[in-house]
Amino acid sequence: MSNADPTKTSSRRPTHQGVTPITITVAGGVGFGPTKLAAFDAALREAGIANFNLIPLSSVIPQASTIVTTEGAATAPGGWGDRLYVVMAQLRVDTRYEEAVAGLGWIQESETGRGLFVEHIGHTEREVRRDILATLDSMAAGRPHIEFGAPELVVHSTVCAGEPTCALVAAVFENEPWRGDQVIDLT
């Protein structure tokens, strides 16, 4: 289940001299499979990011960023095996009737587009939403010189019906192909 509006853009594209604007897409999915890892892969496929090497980022949204939410698969550019930079929350469960909930929340300064992501997981939507909002509130309070806008959230959840399941939400930044000119000397 998601609470994202598929046409929603969280902010107008900020203009900031000397900074390349980027669009960050928030997508999610749930998946099922014979193992927790297979369920994770199914959730990645539903989110549209399964065929990339995922590189986790911390929580900082660069200046001049626009965040777009989408239902279903993100349309991440790039080729098979490219690096894809993401902030991601994911929870895998395999106990019958156990709920898996994953969510991302964010705040941005409207003038510059800079902001912060947080990711939380849990076993109820109420718990995950509470933790996201509490964390964003604390992070904003620690940066009193920045006037952040209202928090935004995307949460996905599923319940294990017998086979392993996974819920995930990812903020997809950008991809980077492998250059092939890097030689790593392990001697």
Q: What is the DSSP letter of 42?
A: H
Higher local confidence (pLDDT), 87 or 186: 87
Task: Say what the pLDDT of residue 19 is.
Answer: 77
At 76, is the pLDDT very low, low, confident or very high (cuts 50, 70, 90)?
confident
Q: What is the DSSP letter of 129?
A: H
Residue 111 lies in a domain: yes
Q: Picking from 4-13, 90-99, 175-184, which range would have the lowest pLDDT averaged per residue?
A: 4-13
pLDDT recorded at residue 73: 79
Task: Label residue 176 exposed, middle or buried (CB < 10 Å: 0-12, 13-18, 19+).
Answer: middle
Is the pLDDT at 32 greater than 90? The verdict is: yes
Inside any domain, residue 114: yes
Domain contains 26: yes
Confidence class of residue 136 from pLDDT cuts 50, 70 and 90? Answer: very high
Mean pLDDT of 169-186: 84
Is 168 part of any domain?
Answer: yes
Tell me whether residue 59 is in a domain: yes
**Domain count of the fold of the chain:** 1
Closest among 164, 177, 169 to 152, alpha carbons compared: 169
Domain containing residue 137: 22-176
Q: For 35-57, what is each residue's pLDDT tens digit?
A: 999 999 999 999 999 999 999 99
Residue 55: other Cβ atoms inside 10 A:
12
**Residue 30 burial by Cβ neighbours in a 10 Å radius (0-12, 13-18, 19+):** buried
pLDDT at 1: 46
Q: Would 161 be classed as within a structural domain? A: yes
Concatenating the DSSP letter of every residue in 53-116 gives: EEEE--SEEPTTEEEEE-SS-----S-TT-EEEEEEEEEEE-STT-EEEEEEEEEEBTTT--EE
Output the domain CATH number for residue 81.
Answer: 3.50.20.10
Residue 14 lies in a domain: no
